[in-house]
Structure 1
């Protein structure tokens, strides 16, 4: 485990500049990734630990991010459980859950866990090559988001099957199969050198606060209980998109160290209310980084950083600076560089 500012921020004791990392910081917008993608398939980049480490390290070395994150794909757990997965041209599952009975087709044994060993190995290689002052994140995908993909093949669009599965017990049965695999994978990533494992639940905002509380929170609680039962010591961070305080208030007591928020909320509202309970990650709007005109982007960056800089320093001890979601394809590299440079000007 590193002595990184990321870890200090997760413990809400970072008195220096807030650490910066972006979701999807290693991706299609980056020339380093494109050079590797020209020689290797996406699956090769994910499954070969050396290549995955090279992808993960690229933006840290190029832009100066304070942390690297495991380079992988969110659907691999479903593939490990027996749902065929193809990436030509994009991710597509071979079949979908259409009833509670279909859940019985999903495997949940040691072979499923071993099928994801390449992720832990990629983290070990990344950690060995990463500067000691840099943080390292693993990641897993939240049960709800995996369920949406398993039923609907996506996290947006036609989601009738996913919502029906929440109502008829299919989601609960799915989680019973998923939790042993997901908890073992999270613990394996932590033991491989991750300072924190981020649980990315992009679909959480697709359900109401009521359904979130009755269905999603119990699933998260069972997952965290399983992780700690396996000896997890590293912190977990929970990111959700499209959620609100009515969702977040129900996460208290689960044991997450950090809360990742999307771009729809002001840090000056969130940090005073939640920053004494959790580290807060986020949350610049990634769509704004697509802007080609610096004269338009620059004031929005200043607005974001000034909002955080106006807060008492004690509230920023647990702030992990970043985006409200992932870097979008087509984002100019110069905008990423400007974000990091200006963040250093404000908080150095």
Structure 2
């Protein structure tokens, strides 16, 4: 296990934050590209040896503090009986539009067997990781999976999902027990924390967010306290109030729209703003905060990239280790395709240099 990563999970003060990036094993990386020349995306995910090799590449090349399981959030939908192909993006062979569509899905007790490959992938990744590195698991958020199931693809069509809120809750009766079993497999295999990636949930108004996105998170944190992290893109402080109110949550991630220094102070109850200190949900015991450098800025040329990163880090340098407690340094979202590797490498080096 990585000491810096574990300290962040516990909310303990430390000088240097751990660093990992969403999609750190992905299309920008030559190691991944070399594997994709030989294997399909599905093979990389479902063959545990290949999944482990894919996850380990960024650790060996960039020295991140944590690896993350290489997989895809949509496999639970496939496990429930929805045919899934990648051509190249994910396409489902049906849509969930009516209650009758739900009846054709497999029971979760039968579906969990489809996810066993993730248990082996996590085990192999953990076995091959250096002892001083941590391992993160992940699943998709319930609302994000419902939007995919409603649309049948990754086109981001939310209108259909938003008009089927009753159907969403009926779907969750099948989905949530499967995701609970999925998390259990990953923890059993050696993941130290499991992230819930709920990318589409930030598009919901805060009250709908609480009703449609967070039932899964509440169930998971009740069963696995201290082991579940949550990320949704485009959230606001109103969304975060609901997230921070969840008992047993290990922490949460945010995108680049947040001022990280202020968010950390509020989360640790050390900010000078009295409202931030005293308002329910504005300060917290929510554990880690992950993020949130703008991933688009990784495309800057070398001369401009380092000053941009230094500007981002400067307000965080001013904070004491206590005020920065729980910070896991990374991006506001995933590493984008064609991101220059040199800037990913320099990011990791610069963060450790600045806070040493």
TM tier, smaller:
over 0.9
Normalised by the length of structure 2, the TM-score is 0.92
Contact 1:85 1:91 in 2 (8 A): yes
2:257 is the alignment partner of 1:264: yes
Task: State how far apart, in whole Å, the 2-side matches of 1:8 and 1:100 are.
Answer: 46
Instruction: Report matched runs for 1:79-94 at 5 Å.
Output: 79-94=78-93
Task: Choose the corresponding residue for 2:305, options 277, 290, 297.
Answer: 297
Unaligned 5+ runs, structure 2 = 269-283
Task: State how far apart, in whole Å, the 1-side matches of 2:307 and 2:346 are.
Answer: 12
2:349 is the alignment partner of 1:329: no
Task: State how far apart, in whole Å, the 1-side matches of 2:30 and 2:154 are.
Answer: 27
Task: State how far apart, in whole Å, the 2-side matches of 1:193 and 1:261 are.
Answer: 25
2:246 is matched with: 253
1:188 is matched with: 185
Contact 2:13 2:325 in 1 (8 A): yes
2:142 is the alignment partner of 1:150: no
2:125 is matched with: 126
Task: Choose the corresponding residue for 1:209, options 206, 211, 234.
Answer: 206
Deviation at 1:212, TM superposition (A): 1.1
What SS class does the counterpart of residue 337 from structure 2 fall into?
A: coil
> Over aligned residue pairs, what C-alpha RMSD do you find?
1.5
What SS class does the counterpart of residue 309 from structure 2 fall into?
A: helix
Task: Choose the corresponding residue for 2:347, options 317, 339, 343.
Answer: 339
Contact 2:108 2:175 in 1 (8 A): no
| Range with bigger deviation, 2-11 or 152-161 | 152-161
2:31 is matched with: 32
Deviation at 1:155, TM superposition (A): 5.5
Work out the number of aligned pairs and report it.
339
Contact 2:4 2:14 in 1 (8 A): no
Residues 186-223 of structure 1: CA deviation (Å, up to 9, x unaligned): 01101110111111110111100111123323343234
What SS class does the counterpart of residue 29 from structure 1 fall into?
A: coil
Deviation at 1:296, TM superposition (A): 2.4
Residues 89-135 of structure 1: CA deviation (Å, up to 9, x unaligned): 22111111112331222212333111011111111001111111111
Contact 2:89 2:154 in 1 (8 A): no
| Range with bigger deviation, 276-285 or 98-107 | 98-107
Task: Choose the corresponding residue for 1:236, options 210, 216, 228.
Answer: 228
Contact 2:226 2:249 in 1 (8 A): no
Unaligned 5+ runs, structure 1 = none
Deviation at 1:304, TM superposition (A): 1.1
Task: State how far apart, in whole Å, the 1-side matches of 2:44 and 2:10 are.
Answer: 32
Contact 2:220 2:228 in 1 (8 A): no
Task: State how far apart, in whole Å, the 2-side matches of 1:16 and 1:313 are.
Answer: 6
2:181 is the alignment partner of 1:197: no
Distance 1:124 1:260, change over 3 A: same
Task: State how far apart, in whole Å, the 2-side matches of 1:108 and 1:207 are.
Answer: 28
What SS class does the counterpart of residue 112 from structure 1 fall into?
A: helix
Contact 1:195 1:234 in 2 (8 A): no
Contact 1:148 1:159 in 2 (8 A): yes
2:173 is matched with: 176
Contact 2:226 2:248 in 1 (8 A): no
Deviation at 1:233, TM superposition (A): 6.0
What SS class does the counterpart of residue 51 from structure 2 fall into?
A: helix
Structure 1: 4+ residue segments shifted above 4 A = none
1:312 is matched with: 320
Task: State how far apart, in whole Å, the 1-side matches of 2:59 and 2:355 are.
Answer: 19
Task: State how far apart, in whole Å, the 2-side matches of 1:336 and 1:95 are.
Answer: 38
Task: State how far apart, in whole Å, the 2-side matches of 1:6 and 1:114 are.
Answer: 31
